[in-house]
Structure 1
Amino acid sequence: MTLPTAQGESRERAAWLRVFHDAHEQARTLVCFPHAGGTAGQYFSLSAALAPDVRVLAVQYPGRQDRCAEPAFEDVALLADEIARLLAAPRPASSPVLFGHSMGALVAFETAARLEHRYDAAPAGLIVSGMQAPYRRTASRLPGDGEEAALDALLRLGGTDPAVAGHPELRAMILPALRSDFRAATAYRPGSCPSLLSCPVTAWTGRDDGLTHGDVHAWAEHTTAAFHTRDFAGGHFYLNGFPPLIVEAVRTAVTRTTGAIVRTRTRKDI
């Protein structure tokens, strides 16, 4: 068997983990996981707002945009396996905070569990948004289990521009990955890795999303550390575009789990 080269590992990491803005040496790291059908680029504005104090690594799942030639994953556990492996090696200087919305919350949670229980590299914190706690999920498979059902569901939740539905080229680009993501999310069952974390967990939701108090607060059962929750005005995609209120909430959650950011002054600062 041929071992992967350092250059090959670097290319693989760059394919999965996108960096949009420079960060300073003491920056905290925030790893962001998109929703079903989502892309790394949806975290560009958050990265711009948090830089240079927070280094955002946005996960790009296979099967979309520049990775459209690769098969999309239809298993949350396998997706988390790959991401945890890349985050664990080389071992980062400081532990990252993981942040996932909707399906991305499940992937972030499973990645956090693998980092802690398989790699002894527990994250500094976990932020989950727009998703029931794993053992509260009752989602069934989509009617027909097809691309059209996945797109209809995403449109109802407000997760994409309705104009996409009438644009054949755009539909062809997003539907295969969206269908695979919905299959992964609806088939997900926890238990592929120990699910009790030692890092703080923060759970967020939109007030009009339909999640119950119990759905959100049950995330507390997955940590032995602090638990925080908050709701925001809006529906399932309350965080779209990352308005200032959401950016500051993310910044607060990151610094609460990693400590205040102290920058070393350089000649440019003087």
Structure 2
Amino acid sequence: MNTSHQTGGFRPTTGFDQPDFVALRPDTGDEHVLRLYCMPPAGMSASFFNAFTSHLPDAVSVHGLQLPGRGRATGAPVHTDPRHLGQLLADRIRHDDSGHPYAVFGHSVGALIAYETVTCLVRQGHRPPTLLALSAMAAPHHPDFAAKAPNVLLGGRKGLEELFGRLPDHAGHGPDALISAWIPMLADLLLALQFRPHQGPPLDTQFALYGGEEDPVISPEALAGWNDISSQPATPRFFPGDHTYLLDNVEAISSRLTTDIVTSLRGWACPADDPASPSGECSLGNLRGRTRS
């Protein structure tokens, strides 16, 4: 069953074993300005970003990536081919494109998925997002992640939890539950290790780079390495915490992300037939202050 929301027109459902976007906060009609696609870290489902919806402006609709093998799709075959996954997600974004601006945000392995998705969109001739926000991950050409991933793989449960945080409590209730929790994480690690260095011209979209001040896996240099493949380099922003810093700084990161979204929308013109903006200009209003209570 397809759980995504769309602004209009028929959207085909995806299968149990196919990736899709879940509407954590659906498009809101006339006040909708931007659709934000969020890619979660290894092993996590779309619900990873639930905490952020109440801190982002109402004008931003939030759609989380739901990959097979986790959440309601536990037990479905997982994806380990980054190029194929990027193409599938690019197709979903293209199909749902209403002409409004959109942004893509990925954390950890989700940052690599976000990058591959945007790369596929550009390769297909589709317009890129106004903002590509990447968190806690090295650029594909930087050796940091690949050098440290074997320690995670060889460290068993302890290694995984040092990187991704505590596994779900149900994972300790028997070998079957533990395997179900491990499979998506290991699959996403394998996915990350198969990314190839960027080919072609730099991506012509605004970047935002976020990281944890005490991240044991991704160094500041590795995070800054994303600027090598961007025509609009960004200053990395760091927050207290390790590789899972995101969930400890929800309000602060939401505020920073909102600022970066507003910056990326400067000069953007909405579709001419948009009833929310008859002049053709996107009305941002006081976007920073428009959040749900």
- Could you say whether these structures have the same fold, taking a TM-score greater than 0.5 normalized by the shorter chain as the test? yes
Where 2:121 maps in the other structure, the secondary structure is helix
**Counterpart pick for 1:243 among 244, 247, 250:** 250
Cα distance in 1 for residues equivalent to 2:240 and 2:189: 25
1:36 partnered with 2:42: yes
How many Å apart are 1:93 and its aligned residue? 1.6
Pick from 278, 284, 291: which aligns with 1:261?
A: 284
Structure 2 CA distance for aligned equivalents of residues 184 and 195 of structure 1 = 23
Structure 1 residue aligned with 2:150, among 117, 139, 142? 142
TM-score (norm 2): 0.77
Determine helix, strand or coil for the equivalent of 2:61.
strand
How far apart in 1 are the matches of 2:263 and 2:162? 34
Report what 2:24 is aligned to: 20
Match of 2:117 among 106, 111, 115: 111
> Given the alignment of the two structures, is residue 223 of structure 1 paired with residue 243 of structure 2, yes or no?
no
- For 2:130 and 2:232, how far apart are their aligned partners in 1? 11
- Counterpart Cα distance in 2 of 1:131 and 1:15: 21
Inter-partner Cα distance in structure 2 for 1:209 and 1:9: 40
How many Å apart are 1:152 and its aligned residue? 3.1
Conserved? CA contact 2:130–2:205, under 8 Å: yes
The structure with the largest helix share of the pair is: 1
Q: Give per-residue Cα distances to partners, 1:53-79, cap 9 Å, x unaligned.
A: 211110011111222243101122221
TM-score by length of 1: 0.83
Residue segments in structure 1 that go unaligned for 5+ positions in a row: 1-5, 264-270
* Separation of aligned partners in 1, 2:76 and 2:167: 25
Q: 1:198, 1:225 within 8 Å by CA — same for their partners in 2?
A: yes
Q: 1:22 to 1:16 in 2, by over 3 A?
A: closer
Question: Which whole-Å CA distance do the structure 1 matches of 2:53 and 2:284 have between them?
Answer: 16
Partner of 1:267: none
Distance 2:206 2:136 in 1: 18
Give the superposition deviation at 1:88.
1.0
Q: CA–CA distance in 2 between the matches of 1:75 and 1:195?
A: 23
Q: 1:9 aligns with which of 8, 12, 16?
A: 12
89-98 or 56-65, larger mean C-alpha shift: 89-98
Q: 1:130: Cα distance to partner?
A: 0.4
Out of 61, 67, 70, the residue aligned to residue 61 of structure 1 is 67
Counterpart-to-counterpart distance in 2, 1:195 and 1:102? 24
Aligned partners of 1:33 and 1:100 also within 8 Å: yes
CA distance in 2, matches of 1:67, 1:243: 26
Aligned residue runs from structure 1 range 169-208, under 5 A: 170-191=177-198, 194=200, 196-208=202-214
Q: Does the CA contact (< 8 Å) of 1:99 and 1:127 recur in 2?
A: yes
The answer to which of 178-187 and 126-135 deviates more is 178-187
Show the counterpart of 1:126: 132
Distance 1:144 1:239 in 2: 20
How is 1:96-107 mapped onto 2 (pairs within 5 angstroms)?
96-107=102-113
SS state of the match for residue 239, structure 1?
helix
The alpha carbon displacement at 1:166 in A equals: 2.5
User: Could you tell me how far apart the structure 1 residues matched to 2:201 and 2:83 are?
Assistant: 12
Q: Which amino acid aligns with 2:97?
A: R
Equivalent-residue separation in structure 2 for 1:208 and 1:164 (angstroms): 28
In structure 2, what is the Cα distance between the partners aligned to 1:82 and 1:245? 32
Partner of 2:76: 70
Deviation at 1:173, TM superposition (A): 2.8
Distance 1:244-1:201 versus aligned 2 partners, 3 A rule: same
Deviations 1:187-214 (A, max 9, x none): 32234x6462110111111010143332
1:90-147, Cα deviation, whole Å (9 max, x unpaired): 433223111001100101011111112213221111110001122113415636968x
Farther-moved stretch of structure 1 (90-99 vs 9-18): 9-18
Summarize the alignment of residues 152-167 of structure 1 with structure 2, pairs less than 5 Å apart. 152-161=158-167, 163=169, 166-167=172-173
Pair 1:47-2:50 in alignment: no
Q: Tell me if structure 1 keeps the 8 A contact 2:55–2:255.
A: no
Change (3 A) 1:10 1:262: farther
